[in-house]
Amino acid sequence: MAEMHKQVLERLHLEHDLRHALKGGELQLFYQPIFHLKSQQLVGMEALVRWQHPERGLVSPAHFIPIAEETGLIVALDQWILERACRQLWTWQRQSDIAADLRLSVNVSAKTLQDATFFKYLDTLQQRYPLPRGQLLLELTERIGIELGSEILSLLELLRDRDIEISIDDFGTGYSCLSYLHSLPIQHLKVDRSFISQLEENERNVQITRMILLLSQQLGYRSIAEGIETPRQLQILQELGCDYGQGYLFAPPLPPEEFEWLLKAYSH
């Protein structure tokens, strides 16, 4: 009982601190580069939030994102991330020719999509930072069908009407939406890192990844692999025909100033 009480208090304190962090400048965005696997050219980046707590130090997203989901803070957090990420890409596009063609991927919760203010907020962002068509890509988890229910098609169509592309994140991790996947207006499937990390262990893992990539190809989607860490993993994914990838083999998530160095390196 004492341990449970301690956990509840810890959660309440973290929720309070997260509310403060949204206003107090403790949150930061890092950007992990995304590459075309065949040419190994830079094609985009994923915006990833980091929380540098003044007392706790770096708080893992795996720790605070679930609390944001449970408390409803996820809507404000997603909007915070979207605004700063779009502003950052818009700024880079004014400074670098290579940034003009980069896609920006941002994770968005189903709860955020369902929020009554979200699409008006998106319209404001697109007016403020008019990124070229298809350059903003929202990543939604594979649970999307369960979370959005009957609203799923109409909500995704609203995104399509705004020239925003959709990626199904963590695909193949257990909440399969195969029954309606073909009918959704999406453009990308993202292969979960749990599959990529096991590619070198045995042929069975390779075959599972092959099936996911084949499904993506047959449905006309572009495939993205996350968590690529070794040259052998990259080689296998290239042989299997995966389109894009990200991971520590290429680069970790980078703060904006380091991502700018990467842009300069690829502009020569």
Candidates 129, 141, 42; CA nearest to 84 is 129
pLDDT of the residue at 14:
82
Which of 131-151 are b and which e, b meaning 16 or more Cβ less than 10 Å from the residue's Cβ? beeebbbbbbbbbbbebbeee
Structure tokens at 246: 């990200």
Q: What is the DSSP string of 238-256?
A: HHHT--EE-STTT---B-H
pLDDT of the residue at 127:
96
What span, in angstroms and rounded, lies between the C-alpha atoms of 36 and 178? 26
What span, in angstroms and rounded, lies between the C-alpha atoms of 47 and 138? 10
First to last CA, the chain: 61
Task: Reply yes or no on whether the pLDDT at 176 is more than 70.
Answer: no
Q: In this predicted structure, which of 113-127, 178-192, 237-251 has the lowest mean pLDDT?
A: 178-192
Q: How does the average pLDDT of the chain come out, rounded?
A: 89
Quickly name the fold that domain 2-266 has.
TIM Barrel (3.20.20)
pLDDT of the residue at 267:
72
Residues 17-31 pLDDT 10s: 888 888 878 899 999
Residues 115-164 pLDDT 10s: 999 999 999 999 999 999 899 999 998 777 777 777 888 999 999 999 99
What span, in angstroms and rounded, lies between the C-alpha atoms of 56 and 252? 22
